[in-house]
A and B are shown apart, each in its own frame.
Chain A
Amino acid sequence: MDPTSPDTTRDLFADLVAAIAAGRDRAAFVKLFEHFAPRVKSYLMRLGCQAAEADELAQESLLAVWQKAATFDRRQSAVSTWLFTIARNKRIDAIRRARRPELDPEDPALVPATPEQADQILQAAQSARQLHTAIAGLPEDQRELLVLAFFQEKSHSDIAVATGLPLGTVKSRIRLAMQRLRAVIEER
């Protein structure tokens, strides 16, 4: 079965992570590596990493998947989302020595979500496949701005300067793209 097949709602990558957690399954790891390492590398290069460093950090990210497979909770996130946050953290740690303040789901100070909010979080976690399809269907100008906002860590005003678009246009296009994707998440 092709884990990238868009017509399935089950995150088959999560099955591969489960196989690693259950039995140190190296074949499952190879499949994850082959799909995700080149994408994580591409993402890191878009963030401004040189090719060699991006390669290194993509390897470290996949190694973290192997080491932390048992902590992955498929109800709380898609594998792509998990890798997105792992790679993001690897990069922050590589470029700055500062501490990285981070939300801790086990924090005793955590204000609990209402059942409705907990549902919203699960909905987001389970919409990876639909989001992928929706992103492919966004108008080019919206997708490009979304990618800039996400991958190049630029503020809306930086994007306005870089693209020559008025700030208001940048803000409204990003908001439109986000609304469209949110609708996809909430339809689930």
Chain B
Amino acid sequence: MPHDLILLGHGSGGALSHQLLDELVVPTLSGISQAGRDDAAVLDPVGGRLAFTTDCYVVDPPFFPGGSIGDLAVNGTVNDLAMMGARPLYLSTGLILEEGFSRDDLARILTAMRRAADAAGVAIVTGDTKVVPRGKADRIFITTSGVGVLDHGLTICGSGARPGDRVIINGTIGDHGIAVLAAREGLELSSDVTSDSAPLNDLVAELLKEGDAIHVLRDPTRGGVATTLKEIALQSKLGIAIREDQLPVSREVGAVCAILGLDPLYVANEGKLLAVVAPEAAERVLERVRNHPLGRESAVIGEVTDKNEGRVTMETVVGGMRAVEMLAGEQLPRIC
């Protein structure tokens, strides 16, 4: 029996399952060598309203330049909590493994999850592992759920934009989607595009020092910046006007998009946030973001208007005007 592969028995709940959990999953994720055998994690009370979220990760391939499905699964859920202004505390995780998946790869992914959790300051406190027959899943799927606490009185949500607000992004767009696409399709790029996968909770904590000047926070993941801006415009019942020449796009991502006919505005990000902030605070916010390691290339990309309710318009690089709509269909499937 090969020891380097995941077998159906590893998900049976029997002896092989225990072995996999005791030897690999639990010690890697939690740092405790002996698996707790109780049915649920018991958490200490926290002071404040709770934010609770869940997400599934099916990225293909599971390893790509700049990250893996492991850090993505942690960062994605951490970021969803952070976008509500919550401080992420605990995660749970579900692992669905395809029979025959490499045990080494699983170990690498679990290590990546642990590192990402440590970096974000969250603990993975409970989880489950299942194995399905070969062909019934593609290598590895991960789900994570997360709980965070709102330890302030601010309300940060998609409907909070106001006319005159500025829209800020913390860096270049489209890096994650293009990195995954390049890895999947074996594109030869002249220099590496790496995923921007990163936990944004620390950057958000920095932003929240501006208090109620922060009106909306959103991470433009699937569907990209375009889709997220449109959601904000619809939820806030206001217009958003952006300028294409202000959008930070790396040379390499721009080139790949031009060749493949993709629009970076619609390509997924995993370490970016859009902040809609009061105009008088915009300069200060930009300053704060730029001084953070995850915000060096941040920029003001547009503003909120009381014209064009529910619409996003863009002045193109050549000075033309056009609408920005939500991503229709799947531009790039299985990107996270």
Whether chains A and B associate is: no
Chain B interface residues (CB < 8 Å from chain A): none
Chain A interface residues (CB < 8 Å from chain B): none
